Structure 1
């Protein structure tokens, strides 16, 4: 495939290739990424997907009383330097328009970071991803961390942090998945990906019936590696360093690549990186 810089008729072989790859089980997001990497402009990539019958269903309706326009996020009116998160005031260090992202300081203290690590350590296992074609989880080479999940409200520490998240991001506790703890050793990484689920993927219906779509992520940094391990957004040229106690929020309420929320965890060069991740859903997650 050759690079295209202006609107022109789509080659038949391009449409056939997209259709064959979709039939093989690849997601629309994966195909779009492949087309962009090959040099096709975003609008031509979208036309090729549409011509091959790869469409994205309308987003699921919200399953709570929140209005359809509601989305999680901090109240940044007045450009505050700190925000009341209930049991503490959290610093606002940086904001980004696209992707919609906010970097917070002083979200977790040293005691909380250490406690989460020690509670999670004996329960770690190789991290998994949701497999194409089903709602099952599988080990994938793109994700080489170790991890575990706390149930929502599993212990007083998790309950306190979840309440802080809900207050800071103005989103109900029950609309959040369980807190995930991840450890990245030297060489471990998570290649660029989207956190939302592609509704066009087989098996996504079962996932989306349980709380609706993911629409935002909060990454909390628990332990700093000696080198590497940043959270990067390749389309935005944004790289967030994993500073202990900081938290990175980003959202994608429309669940499309236009959110510029494609992101990854860069390989750890030395030491270990520990993070906690909270995914927020449209509705109640049970």
Structure 2
């Protein structure tokens, strides 16, 4: 007969999680008590998620949702992304930020730049009051959206990201390629959509909330251009072929995912950004 979590076990699981023990360390004693491994994993996830949901409702903040989680604590330093191995260069737990080395080859970076160079326009942001795209003073780059699967190069990179993050290709928005010249930047902002703004309803109807971002560096600026996280004083350097991934399990500043594209001080910066949604994005 499959074991079930009782109140005493649930309290013990929460105590272990609060103490900072890894999921593996919480599951191991349950296996010693005769639990099947998958049942133990499911029980721990259920207890923790129910606790988080109850805490969120009691605190008046959004309930967390599942997000991509490609890296475990003290996990492998090289991950299989389907057609390519990708290095884990840095991993921040809260917020969940991962710096990937070699997500793209140099040839793929150059290909995305050439595909986009003649199609650039002043970058826009979504006006959350109207749901429309508008030019904003906080974002001084030039960019273009590449349709999902637009060509073999784009499709290959999208499939690689999906394999690396274990998140469906169809949940991704169109890839955006951006160019930042000297002095260009993207001031601190969140990538999720504020659900309290009047124009957000029609945005969320097309796949739900954004839950993660992947920023891929298509060249190495001479100086400047890092992706910064001011709340946690962390930055990822812009290095050709590398990428920074971060997720946010609810549309709230408590995710600590405030981030910025720091000004380019010398040279130029090219990036490709992929935003991921809860569900299939149309």
3-state SS of the aligned residue for 1:223?
Answer: coil
With over 3 angstroms needed to count, the CA separation of the structure-2 counterparts of 1:234 and 1:168, relative to structure 1, is: same
In the alignment, does 2:246 pair up with 1:250? yes
In the alignment, does 2:215 pair up with 1:219? yes
Which residue is equivalent to 1:136?
132
- Of 132, 141, 146, the match for 1:150: 146
Residues matched between the structures, number: 223
For residue 184 of structure 1, report the CA deviation from its aligned partner: 0.2
Contact 1:73 1:168 in 2 (8 A): no
Q: Write the distance in 2 (CA, Å) between the matches of 1:134 and 1:272.
A: 32
Q: Write the distance in 2 (CA, Å) between the matches of 1:158 and 1:91.
A: 21
Which residue is equivalent to 1:201?
197
Q: How does 1:52-201 map to 2 (within 5 A)?
A: 58=62, 70-76=66-72, 79-201=75-197
Contact 2:128 2:193 in 1 (8 A): no
Which residue is equivalent to 2:36?
none
For residue 219 of structure 1, report the CA deviation from its aligned partner: 0.4
Contact 1:105 1:247 in 2 (8 A): yes
3-state SS of the aligned residue for 1:276?
Answer: strand
With over 3 angstroms needed to count, the CA separation of the structure-2 counterparts of 1:71 and 1:197, relative to structure 1, is: same
The superposition leaves residues 7-34 of structure 1 with CA deviations (integer Å, 9 ceiling, x where unpaired) of xxxxxxxxxxxxxxxxxxxxxxxxxxxx
- Of 236, 239, 264, the match for 2:235: 239
Query: Which structure has more helix as a fraction of its residues?
Result: 2
State the superposition RMSD in angstroms.
Answer: 1.4
3-state SS of the aligned residue for 2:118?
Answer: helix
For residue 77 of structure 1, report the CA deviation from its aligned partner: 6.4
3-state SS of the aligned residue for 2:90?
Answer: strand
TM-score where L is the length of structure 1: 0.76
Ranges in structure 2 where 5+ consecutive residues have no aligned partner: 1-59
The superposition leaves residues 223-273 of structure 1 with CA deviations (integer Å, 9 ceiling, x where unpaired) of 111111110011000011101110100000112111100000011001110
Q: Post-superposition, which runs of at least 4 consecutive aligned residues in structure 1 deviate over 4 A?
A: none
Q: Write the distance in 2 (CA, Å) between the matches of 1:271 and 1:243.
A: 13
Q: Write the distance in 1 (CA, Å) between the matches of 2:148 and 2:132.
A: 21
3-state SS of the aligned residue for 1:201?
Answer: coil
Ranges in structure 1 where 5+ consecutive residues have no aligned partner: 1-54, 60-67
For residue 132 of structure 1, report the CA deviation from its aligned partner: 4.0
Q: Write the distance in 2 (CA, Å) between the matches of 1:198 and 1:283.
A: 17
For residue 73 of structure 1, report the CA deviation from its aligned partner: 2.5
3-state SS of the aligned residue for 1:123?
Answer: coil
Q: Write the distance in 1 (CA, Å) between the matches of 2:242 and 2:128.
A: 33
Contact 1:225 1:273 in 2 (8 A): yes
3-state SS of the aligned residue for 2:281?
Answer: coil
Q: Write the distance in 2 (CA, Å) between the matches of 1:78 and 1:242.
A: 24
Larger Cα-atom Rg? 2
Q: Write the distance in 1 (CA, Å) between the matches of 2:131 and 2:115.
A: 28
